[in-house]
Structure 1
Amino acid sequence: MLQEKQAIQKKQKFDYAVYIGRFQPFHLGHMHCVTEALQNAEKLIIVIGSTNQARSFRNPWSFEERQQMMVESLSRSQLSRIIFVGIEDSFYEPGQWRTEVRRLVADSITSDRHGKRKSNASVLITGHFRDNTSQYLRQFMEWKYISVNDYQSIHATTIRNSWFDAFREGGQGKESVSMTSAREISDRKKRQQQWIESNQSTLSANGLQWLINFSTLEQATKIIEEAQYIKEYRAHVSQLRWPVVLVTTDAVLIQNRQVLMVKRRGFPGKGLWALPGGFVDQDERIEDALFRELKEETGVNLSSHELNQCQLATHVFDDPDRSSRGRTITHASVYQLPDMFDHKLQAGDDASEVCWFDLNSLIEIRDQIFEDHYQIVRYFESRYLRDTNSEQNVTIIKFYNNNKQGGFCYD
């Protein structure tokens, strides 16, 4: 036992290892990286990305769920040496994201050392360098980078997509199941059994069971339905001769430190809050599309001249992974309306509700906001909007829905 402990200590050249990933889901390739990291360091800090994101085709599981998946997949001895932290995406502020990673690691080390911050802690960063999405591994020059070889070519995207297909209609209640034909039930069971058998070599036994159990929960239903929508949407687009680049537009309307948002009526992002906007038609300019979508979804009926007088800035948001529909580039503009300007709101078209949200409290619902729209608002806010009422905690604002029933929105 003593010799084994001494052998382990001899290998541990670093105090801490850092391993960053989305882990959607956590598979044996990730577990291989964890094992390698713990052979090179005393402690491992696992940074779980895409934290506080709304559930989507690309990010179906929350930070807490992914952490639980890891806890159930790893051994007790491994877990005793692991620190879990979460980090939010920052598509348009890469420098800010790197700064936040460094802060999380520094705080984790300080906490692990019972508040004693020591500058001499040796740190390495580890992971498999797969493609351009792995460039971040080489952007922390102060940490030693130790590469991990590919493990059996396991990819989370493949596992995720096959899970969506195997468990479609999963999570529905007995009433829905009773209305399904015996043949459909039999086909579904066969798909699920095939998925289980094919993923015994990609997931730990506990990880496999975790995903099976999750598929029976209510929250699985919506994301599986959305995945089916995305699959059909992409299949339709793939039939076109050339790769499709979608162009959309979004309006960031600000008044009294509040931003106007709509609740999406359909997939993708059904039930999530989003900026008013949509696709640009073949025969219209981007600016005209923005004005049209704003009026259709919110009822805001301002002329182009009135809106242009309030415009602060326009920016293109083009992260390749920003939309589950495929390559989608959006042109967003921010408008600062006069404080006393009055206008009637009426949700319409793709929106089921329209609501003003206090900018200072928007962070509280960021996991209910569609795609990168929270990041778009923060991008404009940090550059063009001054906080003149930072002490405001709760705002009660009237909103309207398609049934023309008044209500109150708390943010």
Structure 2
Amino acid sequence: MIVFMTLAYVAVLFVLIKVKVLPNTKTTWLSTVVWVVVLFIFLFIPMQWGAPSGPVKVQMRVVQILPNVSGEVTNVAVEANTPLKAGDVLFEIDPEPYEIAVASAKATLARAEAQGVQDQANLAAAEAQLRQAEAQQALAARLYRDDEELVKSGTISEQRLEQRQAELDAAIGAVEQSQAAVARAMIEVNAVTEDGTLAKIAEAQAGLRQAQWNLKETKIRAPSDGYVTNLALTVGQRVTNLPLAPAMAFVDTSEKGLVAEVHQIYRRHIEIGQPVEMAFKTLPGTLVTGTVEQLLDISAQGQAAVTGNVAAAGQTQAEPFLLRIKLDNPDNEALLPAGAAGTFAIYTNSVAATHVIRKVMLRMTSIVNYINPAL
């Protein structure tokens, strides 16, 4: 732009000299240098913060499709670059191992429910055995007391009393064993969850739900509206749920984002809601308008990475900050494919006189986009 304005100034000088308004001297032609300096100082330098410019690109999310279960692919239900709706099946994994797991979990649950009934019966049996042992203890104690009186009167010998003592001790031991059996049975019966379900039954139910969920996850579905690109998956391949081995790339078309880069020294003049004009390579000769939607308060350089190394000195650079732009006309999103690149200009509240020059420059860039492939 400065070259264009300088050439225009030279052309004006040439015309004025030809019509003899100005003399054809060195001083007249050296005024061109003054003109360039004035342009730089009073126009182009202030324009950098009054109407900052930079690169802008259109971005979309690309989701790495990772199945939640592993197995052999039995069906690929999609074709590359074909529009899909959220919930459409992308591919299927052999469900047989997971069907077997569900059947096994159902059997485990049935066994746990039967075990719960058995635990109740074991508790009743242990309590009955405890009552019997307590009755035998009471009988042994009474016989011991009776024989103790007979020993005192000399009717029987002390050997008979020793036998009664042994019988009483055995009865006491039987009661203690029965009490322990009752305690063990009560532990099994009283092991319940917060909702009152027997613990072993709740555990079996959880195992069944997990097996059923795994079976459901053998059908991998689209996370949103979009399409699969660079499709290489085929029947017979084995997929895993490891993050290092995604099965396919899914392009999420539910939202597009316009991300622009602005130098740090100009960021202080930018505010949300300020008008933006953009010239994209995919739309030569056309300007797309919008507003500043969001200023991102961090750059890649501002991320503190957790490592075992001391931060290296001398690595700091003034990286550009990113900002998001909202289109004035949402219908223009359809005209901007993901990856479309261009140049933007933000018209701030500073040095408004320079906005005209920036608008002219951006329109020239838009026209040059017909022939210039680079930014």
As a proportion of its length, which structure holds more helix?
A: 2
Q: Greater RCO between the two (CA within 8 Å, min separation 6)? A: 2
The TM-score range, normalised by the shorter chain, is under 0.3
Structure with larger Rg? 2
Alignment TM-score, normalising by the size of structure 1: 0.16
